[in-house]
Amino acid sequence: MPMLADPSIKYKPYEPLNLQNRQWPSKVVKKAPIWLSTDLRDGNQALANPMTIEQKTIFFKTIIKCGFKEIEVAYPAASDTDFNFVRQLIEQKQIPDDVWLQVLTPAREDLIRRTLESLAGAKQAIVHMYNATCPCFREVVFRNSKEETVALAIKHTKILRELTDEYSAKYGTKFKFEYSPETFSQTEPDFALEVCEAVKKAWGKAGLGEERIIFNLPATVEIAPPNHYADQVEYFHSHISEREKVAISLHPHNDRGQGIAAAELALLAGGDRVEGCLFGNGERTGNVDIVNLALNFYTQGIPPHLDFSDLQSVIDVVTKCNDLPIHPRHPYAGELVFTAFSGSHQDAVKKGFEAQRIRHAENIKKGENQYWDIPYLPIDPADLGCTYEAVIRVNAQSGKGGIAYLIQQHLGLDLPRKMQVSFYQVIQAIADREAREMRVDDITTAFRNTYKFGGSKYEGRLVLKSFKVSSEPTVDSAQGETDEPADERRLFDGSVSVDGVLRVIRGDGNGPLSALLDALRTHLECDFVIREYSEHSIGEGSNVRAASYVELVRGDQAVKDARTSTESWWGVGVDSDIAGSGLRAVLSAVNNAIGDRALPELKLNVGFNAKSGQADVASAILNSLYLELPRGLQASFFEVVQRAARATGESISYTDLIKLFQETYNYDLPEATRKATEISLERFKLQDGENGKKQLTGTLVWNGKSKEASGSGVGPLSSLVDILHKEIEGILTCKHYSEHSVSEGTEVQAASYVELSYELPGQAKKSSWGIGLDTDITASMLKALLSSVVGLDVVRKNVVNGQ
């Protein structure tokens, strides 16, 4: 049967209440009502499979934990399960002293007596009695007149009074009485008042405070808009006698989907108490949702006196015991209620968090309240024990702002706007291709793969292994006519893994990043320039790190074209050192740009192209011996290589190169092939000496002869030079020292490099490099210095009578 074109021939509209001078529209609620959970009674009776005693017990403990002080636990006369549950709570003393147990009974003497039996021994209890009062029930269901309906209520109220007096005397139980004119919202307002006045008189014990009689005004079936229910409640509130002795309880159902609104408006109209269920369980469309209603108060700054700080645990219990799911869009509790898929919503949320972070920092400084104000989020999910992980979720409809927010939250990276646009296109392509929601892990993994970010698992073809950035004055920057500081060029020396092969690269520029780009252009034919750069810090204090972002464009184009080019590549780098983060960002972008195109292989170029040739030779040493040669040592050894290459027709094999290096610096050679002039310091000790200096002692072994020696200086190297000055003619000066680690973990060793100069009267100054390797850094330094002495052919002092 189709819907009627004119439903008025079948359905009657509600009759508005002619309420003169209504007050509720201009009122504001400023405190939470008394709450009654009826999950274990009204909610339970609506379940296809009512809860077992075990499930009811778990549910009861959860309600207690939430902070309810009045709980309707059963309809004891309806079943043995309900009766026995009430007995268990009382006999096992599971009811806190400040909690009132409530039970329901219809206005029937045998059922009232059975109900009171269930309460024997309770400390305090509310007995809730009802009978239907609306015309439909009076005339159709019970066939009672108004007079008979009132008489029924009076009779059973008196019976209940006698029984509660008896149980109070016998068990010391404190009782409250609640009466419901069932179907109140469909009952004539004056007749509802008449019944309740008669019940109050029959009870005869209505007083103040805890002695107030409770009149429950249920919208048993919601048949009108919430303003009509508010009118009905205000009429009752303003006409019931001895109002101070009456607590008005509200029991809205949700047949029209307006239970929350009905409850909130009825509280304005005079309601004192709300009966409902967690997440709105109940007959048909359910009772009013107390979680929803309480959190509505909370978001208006009104303490609800209920605790949902761990809302998920409440959800878990309720769904398990009720065997009913919670809709993903259910207010506050649904899986998607804090989630934005829309791009514009995501952008607003992201900007809201950024603005609030700044605003709250100012509030803290000024000692002001830190108010929550985020677009599309009326409550802070953290207040409910939720994380911000689900605030933004991504699908094909999402925008760059939401994706950037997730990257910021999970990786700590605040992407520049243009980079947001670039990465958004990556995610959109994946989402369109796979036609599904993109989870956080999907997005962060895509980011790591795209920008080669986040450790060895995501490394690209080019990986920065080590670097040194130094400076030198430019040729035309000598000071003279001006007090301005001299301009300086930055020199980049580093080792980079290129498709798994270590390469030494060198470059110079006006800063570290341009120097690296120069090195990449020279050694790997990667020609790019920076179009945009930005940075920010991650973390605070000693744990702070720098995040850098770089946009590169092709370098083989005019400056004007580079500025407007539509082809660009972004990169990101994070490091505790700001220069390191920028260098890593450049390599991240270059990895994006080169894709899988071939790069120049490592070849030994030992002709006269010193810039590339030195680095190629250094790369061979790095790959074979794991030594990262300082720039000066690279140049020195390259001269040695060139001389050797000329003797063999401008070429030298890889194997011969490594052998030449070892022989030149007496490094890692078999004992039989070491130079006869080898010198060492055995069993040395470095201790604090006088005047803040260090004292170095040990056994000096030179050309197979040993003697005890000692010297002092500001450190190990100057102390050893002092020892040597006692043994040689002339003066030794340490011109350069550097070091790095070799290998990792327990196998790690220190590699040290020392350049010494030697001056002897009447002779030209000479210099030599030495290399030392040891698990102890001091031993490594001393070995390097002594190694350089071997290459200087120093003149030893004459020994006379052992002196």
pTM recorded for the entire structure: 0.64
Predicted local confidence at residue 158, as pLDDT:
98
Q: How large is the average pLDDT for residues 456-479? A: 81
Helix (H) or strand (E) holding 633: helix 631-646
- The pLDDT score that the predictor gives to residue 435 is 78
Q: Which of 300-304, 382-386, 613-617 has the highest mean pLDDT?
A: 300-304
Residue in 759, 752, 760 with CA at minimum distance from that of residue 785:
752
% of the chain beyond a pLDDT of 90:
68
| Predicted pLDDT at 292 | 97
Q: Hey, is 416 helix, strand or coil? A: coil
Taking the C-alpha atoms of residue 786 and residue 794, their distance in angstroms, rounded to an integer, is 11
- Contact between 229 and 197 (Cβ < 8 Å): no
What pLDDT score does 456 carry?
A: 86
* DSSP class per residue in 564-576: H-S--EEEEEEES
- pLDDT cut 70: percent of the chain above it: 93
Full DSSP string of 51-107: PPHHHHHHHHHHHHHHT-SEEEEE-TTT-HHHHHHHHHHHHTT-S-TT-EEEEEEES
The per-residue pLDDT for 703 is: 84
User: For residue 62, which amino acid is it?
Assistant: T
Mean pLDDT of the chain: 90
On the 0-12 / 13-18 / 19+ scale of CB atoms within 10 A, 230 is: buried
Shortest CA distance to 590 belongs to which of 419, 466, 461? Answer: 461
Tokens read off for 721: 């030079």
pLDDT digits (tens, 9 = 90+) for 397-421: 566 777 888 888 889 999 998 999 8
Instruction: Give residue 607's pLDDT.
Output: 46
> How far is the C-alpha of 91 from the C-alpha of 68, rounded, in Å?
21
Pick 401 or 624 by higher pLDDT.
Answer: 624
> In this structure, what DSSP letter does residue 222 have?
-
**CA gap 493, 629 in Å, rounded:** 9
Looking at 202-206, 485-489, 672-676, which range is the least confident one?
672-676
pLDDT at 673 over 60: no
What does the pLDDT look like over 580-595, one tens digit per residue? 999 999 999 999 999 9
Residues 20-68 pLDDT 10s: 899 999 999 999 999 999 999 999 999 999 999 999 999 999 999 999 9
Q: If you average pLDDT over each of 323-327, 611-615, 638-642, which comes out highest? A: 323-327
What pLDDT, in 10s, does the model give residues 189-209? 999 999 999 999 999 999 999
Q: Could you tell me if 394 and 427 are in contact, meaning their C-beta atoms sit under 8 angstroms apart?
A: yes
Token look-up 């200087």 returns 792
For the cut 50, the answer to whether the pLDDT of residue 609 exceeds it is no
Q: What is the pLDDT of residue 404?
A: 85
Tokens of 41: 């009674």
Q: Are 730 and 758 in contact (CB under 8 A)?
A: yes
- How sure is the predictor about 184, in pLDDT bands with cuts at 50, 70 and 90? very high
Mean pLDDT over 561-590 rounds to 92
A 10 A CB-CB count for 161 gives 17
d(CA 471, CA 552): 24
What DSSP character marks residue 140?
I
269: Cα within 13 Å, side-chain hemisphere: 27
In this structure, how many other beta carbons lie within 10 angstroms of the beta carbon of residue 630?
Answer: 22
With a cut of 90, say whether residue 559 has pLDDT above it: no
* pLDDT range class, residue 647, cuts 50, 70, 90: confident
Mean pLDDT, residues 569-577: 94
Q: What is the pLDDT of residue 684?
A: 93
Residue 341 predicted with pLDDT over 70: yes
Determine the pLDDT at residue 569: 95
Give me the pLDDT at residue 262, please.
98
Q: Mean per-residue pLDDT for 702-706?
A: 86
In the predicted structure, residue 478 carries a pLDDT above the cut 60: no
User: What was the pLDDT predicted at 677?
Assistant: 56
Closest to 498 measured CA to CA, from 524, 467, 537, 472: 524
Is-contact 156 105, C-beta < 8 A? Answer: no
pLDDT over 70 at 605, yes or no: no
pLDDT digits (tens, 9 = 90+) for 95-131: 999 999 999 999 999 999 999 999 999 999 999 999 9
Is the pLDDT at 477 greater than 60? The verdict is no
Q: What is the pLDDT of residue 198?
A: 98
The larger pLDDT score, comparing residue 339 to residue 764, is at 764
Query: Is the pLDDT reported for residue 610 higher than 70?
Result: no
Tell whether the model's pLDDT for residue 541 goes beyond 90: no
Band the pLDDT of 387: cuts 50, 70, 90. Answer: confident
Q: Are 269 and 19 in contact (CB under 8 A)?
A: no
The residues, any chain, with a CB within 8 Å of residue 416's CB and separated by 6 or more, are 532, 534, 549, 551
Write phi, then psi, for 685 (nearest 5 degrees): -135, 140
Least reliable range by pLDDT among 175-189, 216-230, 275-289, 325-339: 325-339
Q: Bin 736: left if φ > 0, else alpha if -120 < ψ < 50, else beta.
A: beta
pLDDT at 802: 52
Residues 6+ apart with CB under 8 A from 21: none
CA angle (306, 307, 309) in 5-degree steps:
155
The tokens for 42 are 């009204």
Residue 484 has pLDDT above 80, yes or no: no
* 337 contacts 315 by C-beta, under 8 angstroms: no
Cβ neighbours of 96 (radius 10 Å): 9
What six digits make up the tokens of 301? 């700054």
Tell me the C-alpha distance between 786 and 677, whole Å: 11
H/E run at residue 546: strand 545-554
CB atoms within 10 A of CB 16: 11
Q: What are phi and psi of 631, to 5 degrees?
A: -60, -40
Angle at 463 between CA 461 and CA 467, to 5 degrees: 150
What is residue 608's predicted lDDT score, i.e. its pLDDT? 37
Residue 181 has pLDDT above 60, yes or no: yes
pLDDT > 90? residue 383 = yes
The predicted model gives 241-253 an average pLDDT of: 98
pLDDT of the residue at 391: 66
CA distance 90 to 146: 39
- Selection from 461, 427, 416 nearest residue 570 by Cα: 416
**Residue 278 and residue 760: Cα distance in Å, rounded?**
95
CA 143 – CA 210 distance, rounded (Å): 36
